[in-house]
Amino acid sequence: MAITQTQNLNIPCSNRYPGVRQADPPSSPDRMLLPELVLEATGSNAYKCYQCIKCTSGCPLADQFDLAPHQVMRSVQFNDPVVLESRSIWLCASCQTCTTRCPQQIDVAGVMDALRIESRRRGIEPAVPEIARFNELFMRCIRIFGRAWELGLATAFNMALRQPLRDSKLGRKMFARGKMKILPHFARGRAKPGARSGSAAENPNAVGYFPGCSLNATSVEYGKSVKSVAHALDIELLEPRDWVCCGSSPAHATDAKLARLMPMKTIAAVEQMGLATLTSPCSACFSRFKQAERATRENEAVRGEISAALDYEYQGSVEVRHLLDVIVEQTGLDAVSKRVTQPLKGLRLACYYGCLITRPAGVTAAENPEYPVKMDRLIKALGGQTVEWSRKTDCCGGSLAISKTDAALGLISNIMQDARACGAEAIVTMCPICHLNLDSRQGEAVDGPALPVFQATQLMALAFGQNEKGTALGNNLVDPKPYLREKGVLA
């Protein structure tokens, strides 16, 4: 679908932002106009943007951008190639706030992805080279091993920065807490259907399970506690054999087709297992699965592309659900409450959802994308108390905590300080990236004593009377045991 550079453009040229030129024609036949590029990549008509600035007002990193999100959109409207040289398209954390709040339903986060990819295609040097390098190394790791090897990735990235001892203190602490896997796991084949037992066929709580690359390493406490809780609630977690990484943020920042194909390998395997639900405890994985499944189901061209790559025609029978939804809605809070033997009485907790469990609502179908309450309801079912606070869906920086640490520290500081100001004594998450960033970086971001950061499944295991193996509290970087003992929840 072609569009003209004036279609639906409501703002006269005289009101352009300084430095934004009249539309430049493509310099070669293989270069589309930027509005056409955006339309093809995201399905969004850039000319629908009428500069309401909601994307910029909600962007957590706008103060670090050289072009604010609405200016990025304006540059696209005028086909101004300067946007391909901007810091903004690289610093974007893909938190989906802009996409969620756009009144014209423009996928602004997707626009940032499309511009990054086009910038590299045209041979433009990245304005933030360390982020581009991290993405390249991440994807190289996936091509070699099939899954992210976090220790190898961190080492390679530090060497690329010529800072081999960068974060060495943190690395030693993570080794001591069992959060670094020394050797990689090889998963070179595509995800394949796993065996489905007779009990699983009869169990309505049997679900396809994608743990993600970090639950055996940097988020080992999450992986252990998820399995403990699932067993207690009779949720049967069935992993496809030889599953491969979902691609996380680096995939959709570098290759749109690969960003769809990698998640669809797992989704297709789950469908072939005869399972109606695929769940992941990782918010980034959940988001990539939701985005890929929706595009494959609704877009005929994408469906053909995926079918050809997998040699399998996806039937659209799999529902992707975050583990939080499986626990709260599919299993039910009544079942959770019945398992509680050690209520979390006295704990004052801030439930931190992060960006991607609920956003964008057009993809996740979340009821309350800006102020979710499901995790709060879960904690209350365990006997705990939650605080009301305004940053429960703020961005923690995601992978920027590694690739551009200084950019993420301000976001982490905002979250931690606001949680404290609202009376929280600890924070609860259901995302490996959010947990790692808050648990490992808060000492750099804020002054004062550190707050414990729990995975919700750790608190569930604790309330269910599970032992140290089930709760995995010893794997947290900020030791939560003194706080739990003070509150009389832990002996």
Residue, of 87 and 19, whose pLDDT is higher: 87
Arithmetic mean of pLDDT, 3-18: 36
Grade residue 6 by pLDDT with cuts at 50, 70 and 90. very low
Angstrom distance (rounded) from CA 233 to CA 338: 10
What confidence score (pLDDT) does residue 15 get? 36
Among the residue ranges 25-34, 272-281, 356-365, the one predicted with the least confidence is: 25-34
What confidence score (pLDDT) does residue 25 get? 47
Q: Is the pLDDT of residue 349 over 70?
A: yes
User: Can you name the residues that pair with 426 across neighbouring β-strands?
Assistant: 349
pTM of the model: 0.92
Model pLDDT for residues 419-445, shown as the tens digit of each residue: 999 999 999 999 999 999 999 999 999
Q: Is the pLDDT of residue 5 over 60?
A: no
What confidence score (pLDDT) does residue 432 get? 97
Angstrom distance (rounded) from CA 257 to CA 252: 8
Arithmetic mean of pLDDT, 225-242: 96
Model pLDDT for residues 23-32, shown as the tens digit of each residue: 444 445 467 8
Q: Is the pLDDT of residue 190 over 70?
A: no
φ, ψ for residue 362, nearest 5 deg: -65, -20
What confidence score (pLDDT) does residue 189 get? 63
Angstrom distance (rounded) from CA 226 to CA 237: 10
What confidence score (pLDDT) does residue 11 get? 34
Angstrom distance (rounded) from CA 94 to CA 85: 18
Burial of 249 (0-12, 13-18, 19+ CB in 10 A): buried
Arithmetic mean of pLDDT, 254-262: 96
b/e string for 439-463 if b means 16 or more Cβ within 10 A?
bbbbeebbeeeebbbbbbbbbbbbb
Model pLDDT for residues 127-138, shown as the tens digit of each residue: 999 999 999 999
Arithmetic mean of pLDDT, 34-40: 97
Asked whether the CA dihedral 179, 183, 188, 194 is positive or negative, the reply is negative
Q: Is the pLDDT of residue 260 over 70?
A: yes
Grade residue 191 by pLDDT with cuts at 50, 70 and 90. confident
What confidence score (pLDDT) does residue 9 get? 35
Grade residue 371 by pLDDT with cuts at 50, 70 and 90. very high
Among the residue ranges 121-135, 186-200, 349-363, 433-447, the one predicted with the least confidence is: 186-200
Domains of the chain and CATH, by start: 13-121 (1.10.1060.10), 332-486 (3.40.50.11810)
